[in-house]
Structure 1
């Protein structure tokens, strides 16, 4: 006669084991659940707020860096003018040879000047005063669109130097730049700028 044995303890253990496995499976499913639509919307809103508040500051940093470059270059330019002026007062000859460069001297003011004509005049002065000059483009008109990098505009009395920033030019009244007066100039308005100063002066504009 066949007798079937039944062990209630084993059955109870198996039932408890199955319950534990089911519990872990439910927890894994819950933990693997992705973001809800509301959570995604909140993240998108936060990113949008950050973009709106941070972008203007990044733009300001870029403008600050541009202005700092103009100020540094104008200070170096002014130092070179003083050095050449001092050498001229001692030697009283023109051109002045300084650090292997030849710098012309204005016969009226006794300050450094450029050579050549047209757009080459202020470019020549720039290249003469700097030992390792940045590339620069001479503009024939104060209203001309600037090229990338440094640009110049002027005549035998003054030279203006500035770097391209967005769509501004020398006549816009907002372009950060500096002006070097080769001769004494009374106040004169050119485009959106007013220039005037003593010979040898390096003057910053829109900074």
Structure 2
């Protein structure tokens, strides 16, 4: 009798199917696609904030409002020192974003030009108990926009990806 060497086609197909099932069930444990997507979204929002702030500043400079330490509306956007304020009428209006897609929290110090307001934007559903008056309720996975307090400075924009 002749000895057979190798595997039959059925055995090979069964092994491939079992490996496929293992790969499909194990891959999501090692790859965090949703976290990467949220981080990319935050980076995109930061870029949009940079662009919106520069665009609004250019419009404010044309109107001669770039040195104003009080709130001035430029093209429908509330500004201080020519840049959008960290308020709904400021950076949020400049971005023209769909606010339902974001959890947004602001501080309103009501003292333009000397005390910086802060706005934090987080993808909707990441942070719980969001209020619009206390930016500290958004503690992870956000973009932070801080007002300008002196003429000639650019707003501080930073990204925190912890918890994404």
TM-score, length-scaled by structure 2? 0.60
Moved over 4 A (4+): 42-48, 165-173
Pick from 152, 155, 159 the counterpart of residue 204 of structure 1.
Answer: 159
Which residue of structure 2 lines up, in the alignment, with residue 13 of structure 1?
A: none
1:123 is displaced (CA, Å) by: 3.0
Number of aligned residues: 129
1:163 is displaced (CA, Å) by: 0.5
Structure 1, unmatched stretches of 5+, are 1-34, 115-121, 137-148, 185-197
The alignment status of 1:134 with 2:98, answered yes or no, reads: yes
Which residue of structure 1 lines up, in the alignment, with residue 22 of structure 2?
A: 49
Quick check: 1:126–1:133 contact (8 Å CA) kept in 2?
no
More RCO (CA 8 Å, sep 6+): 2
* Residues 179 and 54 of structure 1, relative CA distance in 2, 3 Å threshold: same
What are the Cα deviations for residues 161-189 of structure 1, in whole angstroms up to 9, with x where unaligned? Answer: 1113556676574x2211111134xxxxx
Name the larger-Rg structure.
1
Structure 2, unmatched stretches of 5+, are 1-9, 66-71, 109-116, 131-135
TM-score, length-scaled by structure 1? 0.49
What are the Cα deviations for residues 86-132 of structure 1, in whole angstroms up to 9, with x where unaligned? Answer: 222332243212xxxx11122xx442226xxxxxxx333344203x4
